[in-house]
A and B are shown apart, each in its own frame.
Chain A
């Protein structure tokens, strides 16, 4: 629109991922002039949520993520913002349905075969794509602990008014030996009503949970375990069988090598989060996790932040004293006191294996879940477990009758190889007639890179923000964002509560309004004139 971006400003943020967006909002909130840019045409970077079409376009033209390198003249001391790294790679899309309508013959077979009450709707490829907008696919799906850092920041800042949430309705762990899902009891009542475990196990489980919650007060009792693994602690307390699976796989979000302190921290967060909003500790963001970076961006904009997508950045301009003084963006010099960039744009960052991901569309729930469920498929030999999030239509992830399933694990090889075992264990392949398992209709595999960023190599007033990680929640990123903010603006409040719009007293003349007088010649279509009645139904 031909407008210029203000320069100089206090802070330039490049990339609209989660940490960048949180720092932008916190800085605008204390009155700093923030300019927030992204070369992409959507918010959220590797945290974005997409409709079906936009996902295919974005990942199909991997260019969107590939970032263009524009050569421009630069001083010798300038750092080039390397825009040639792909944050997302190894993308493989697969359809398990055809585009043709099923013949009647097929339909009748299907009907005979499925005797259970929930009849399966048969979808075709074009029908799915016609519903593109009803899908919300997360690149980085994450849950919120009801008493975790993210929820507290959202409430304390008032930013929670921009988003709605769904309670996660079920937590499960996969029992490889039995080939079935075990529901993990959450509340006290769940534990005592469970038919899966014995009375002795129930007492033992409660005892361990109570111990972990009370850890800080009784650290003497834990001295001998503190330096060891969580496994070691469980062995010492003779925790075996199902309750061990509950504890390790779901409550502590651990594996056999997780250290004791990290596991206990997770147990505490889990237990304390139960009952705040629902029966499980977790919340899921309605319309997808990609809403959250946008909520922070909206807050920044409300407090004067300037937002500009589809805006390239070429260089960081470094002064003779080694401090960055600005950036070159679409051949314009933008000056700023601080600069924040995504890791994947950091010229010094080195790609390392990150996350293996799959997104599936399935035709029925693994868990009879009508909201969101988390399932852990543990891996042997110290490998990271596979976390599965199953989302129903009520989370706005997909049209009714379908489910969106996210799989997440640490990248060892490629997403397809890393997740094959878990998918085969839980879902049926298209040929099988196992009716109790969901069929996969469509799948997308990809990897998200992580980055090694050498400390102390960037100018001291340039910060590099990590992208998505493996954790199931946002809390580490909230803490990192707060640390960056506090290092830029020591002693300032981090995201204090915004005034309630209903309490805001506005400045401005208070003399009364010019008297209302309708102008002649105003055209107004009356509701009867319109066909919109039909189309809005």
Chain B
């Protein structure tokens, strides 16, 4: 059993093509671009980071392509500790869609979820969204803000490190969207065989 202090679920949302999968792959595996088709069958990626000597396991979930037609399942948002909303700094439409994404977050995610706005692809020359505009939007909506490039790797580690740091604070102050106590996970339960516990063994 791997040794870690906390496990946090981080989910990514945002328009198709803004680089969500690239961010995850860059962070978890250090590769860019991720091989096309390789995402088939991959639900989430895991990476353990160390913050102030504590081992933190991040479980990072991608949209599985359901954002293409704006059809993300609500259950995707359940029990997320942090939510990363990504846009492409070189694509105005991906920024214009942010309010629509936020409405979905308001509707389905925990009100206590840590919300981070990420402007990705800052390596590109054809930037359309100045940093100040992204920052302004994040302030108005009480989100953290950072600009990244999955391609040249800038701020990618920092993004996830900061998220882990924030979530530890939330966890320590019992303020985070800590999930339900004593819920049952089907494959995690210590099973008793029916012959031990059932009511009509004679």
Residues on A lying within 8 angstroms of B by beta carbon are 1, 3, 5, 43, 51, 54, 133, 147, 151, 154-155, 158, 160-167, 185-191, 206, 209-210, 213, 271-278, 283, 286-287, 291, 294-295, 297-298, 301-304, 306-311, 394, 396, 498-499, 501-502, 504, 506-510, 512-519, 521-525, 527, 529-532, 535-537
B16 interface contact, C-beta 8 A? yes
B144 CB contact (under 8 Å) in A155, A304, A308, A525? A525
Whether A522 contacts B131 by the Cβ 8 Å rule is yes
Question: In the complex, A213→B195 CA distance in Å?
Answer: 11
Whether A187 contacts B41 by the Cβ 8 Å rule is no
Whether A165 contacts B132 by the Cβ 8 Å rule is no
Question: In the complex, A469→B15 CA distance in Å?
Answer: 38
Interface centre among B46, B111, B199 (most CB of A within 10 A): B199
Whether A506 contacts B42 by the Cβ 8 Å rule is yes
B147 CB contact (under 8 Å) in A189, A297, A522? A522
Whether B199 contacts A525 by the Cβ 8 Å rule is no
Whether B135 contacts A525 by the Cβ 8 Å rule is yes
Main secondary structure of the interface of A (DSSP, over half): loop
B43 interface contact, C-beta 8 A? yes
Q: 9 new A-B pairs (CB below 8 Å) besides A277-B189, A306-B65, A530-B144? A: A186-B199, A276-B194, A286-B183, A298-B64, A302-B64, A501-B45, A508-B35, A523-B131, A536-B170
A303 CB contact (under 8 Å) in B40, B132, B184? B40
Whether A164 contacts B112 by the Cβ 8 Å rule is no
Interface centre among A163, A166, A276, A309 (most CB of B within 10 A): A276
7 chain-A/chain-B pairs, Cβ below 8 angstroms: A154-B186, A301-B66, A508-B35, A512-B30, A513-B32, A516-B154, A536-B112
B115 interface contact, C-beta 8 A? yes
Write the chain A residue with the least CB distance to B175.
A537
Write the chain A residue with the least CB distance to B181.
A394
Smallest beta-carbon distance A58→chain B, Å: 13
Question: In the complex, A191→B199 CA distance in Å?
Answer: 8
Q: How many A-B residue pairs have C-beta atoms within 8 angstroms? Tell me.
A: 241
Whether B71 contacts A307 by the Cβ 8 Å rule is yes
Whether B180 contacts A394 by the Cβ 8 Å rule is yes
State the 4 A-B residue pairs at the shortest beta-carbon distance, nearest first: A275-B197, A301-B64, A308-B69, A209-B200
Interface size class of B (residues with CB under 8 A): 35 or more
Whether A517 contacts B152 by the Cβ 8 Å rule is yes
Smallest beta-carbon distance A89→chain B, Å: 25
With a cutoff of 8 Å between Cβ atoms, the chain B residues found around residue A51 in the complex are 107
Interface centre among A1, A167, A272, A283 (most CB of B within 10 A): A1
Whether A188 contacts B43 by the Cβ 8 Å rule is no
Whether B31 contacts A509 by the Cβ 8 Å rule is yes
B69 CB contact (under 8 Å) in A3, A510, A532? A3
Question: In the complex, A114→B112 CA distance in Å?
Answer: 35
B92 interface contact, C-beta 8 A? no
With a cutoff of 8 Å between Cβ atoms, the chain B residues found around residue A163 in the complex are 75, 186
Given contacts A309-B70, A514-B153, contact A522 B187 (CB under 8 A): no
Q: Interface 1/0s, chain B 124-144, versus A by CB < 8 A? A: 000000011011001100111
With a cutoff of 8 Å between Cβ atoms, the chain B residues found around residue A283 in the complex are 184, 186
With a cutoff of 8 Å between Cβ atoms, the chain A residues found around residue B154 in the complex are 516-519, 522
With a cutoff of 8 Å between Cβ atoms, the chain A residues found around residue B143 in the complex are 532
Question: In the complex, A310→B71 CA distance in Å?
Answer: 9
Smallest beta-carbon distance B80→chain A, Å: 12
Question: In the complex, A518→B148 CA distance in Å?
Answer: 9
Smallest beta-carbon distance A92→chain B, Å: 26
Main secondary structure of the interface of B (DSSP, over half): loop
With a cutoff of 8 Å between Cβ atoms, the chain B residues found around residue A517 in the complex are 152-154
Whether A498 contacts B43 by the Cβ 8 Å rule is yes
The residues in B between 4 and 57 inclusive whose CB is less than 8 angstroms from any CB of A are 15-16, 25-26, 29-32, 34-35, 38, 40-46
With a cutoff of 8 Å between Cβ atoms, the chain A residues found around residue B41 in the complex are 302-303, 498-499, 504
A302 CB contact (under 8 Å) in B43, B69, B75, B147? B43
Question: In the complex, A308→B198 CA distance in Å?
Answer: 45
Smallest beta-carbon distance B163→chain A, Å: 11
Write the chain B residue with the least CB distance to A211.
B200
Smallest beta-carbon distance A310→chain B, Å: 8
Question: In the complex, A508→B78 CA distance in Å?
Answer: 31
With a cutoff of 8 Å between Cβ atoms, the chain B residues found around residue A167 in the complex are 184
Question: In the complex, A67→B13 CA distance in Å?
Answer: 30
Write the chain B residue with the least CB distance to A300.
B64
With a cutoff of 8 Å between Cβ atoms, the chain B residues found around residue A3 in the complex are 16, 68-69
Write the chain A residue with the least CB distance to B133.
A523
Smallest beta-carbon distance B162→chain A, Å: 8
A287 CB contact (under 8 Å) in B40, B78, B115, B149? B78
A164 CB contact (under 8 Å) in B26, B44, B145, B179? B179
Whether B40 contacts A304 by the Cβ 8 Å rule is yes
B201 interface contact, C-beta 8 A? yes
With a cutoff of 8 Å between Cβ atoms, the chain B residues found around residue A161 in the complex are 43, 185, 187
A165 CB contact (under 8 Å) in B43, B149, B186, B200? B186
Whether B192 contacts A276 by the Cβ 8 Å rule is yes
Smallest beta-carbon distance A119→chain B, Å: 24
Given contacts A501-B43, A517-B152, contact A309 B71 (CB under 8 A): yes
Write the chain B residue with the least CB distance to A160.
B186
With a cutoff of 8 Å between Cβ atoms, the chain A residues found around residue B158 in the complex are 518
Given contacts A1-B15, A508-B29, A525-B145, contact A166 B183 (CB under 8 A): yes
A188 CB contact (under 8 Å) in B30, B180, B199? B199
B35 CB contact (under 8 Å) in A155, A209, A273, A507? A507
Smallest beta-carbon distance A260→chain B, Å: 18
Whether A187 contacts B187 by the Cβ 8 Å rule is no
Whether A188 contacts B42 by the Cβ 8 Å rule is no
Given contacts A277-B189, A298-B73, A537-B112, contact A532 B201 (CB under 8 A): no
B202 interface contact, C-beta 8 A? yes
Write the chain B residue with the least CB distance to A309.
B71
Whether A536 contacts B76 by the Cβ 8 Å rule is no
B184 CB contact (under 8 Å) in A165, A309, A510? A165
Smallest beta-carbon distance A22→chain B, Å: 14
Question: In the complex, A253→B131 CA distance in Å?
Answer: 62
With a cutoff of 8 Å between Cβ atoms, the chain A residues found around residue B107 in the complex are 51, 54, 133
Smallest beta-carbon distance B12→chain A, Å: 14
Write the chain B residue with the least CB distance to A31.
B40
Given contacts A276-B191, A298-B73, contact A271 B31 (CB under 8 A): no
Write the chain A residue with the least CB distance to B131.
A523
Question: In the complex, A306→B67 CA distance in Å?
Answer: 10
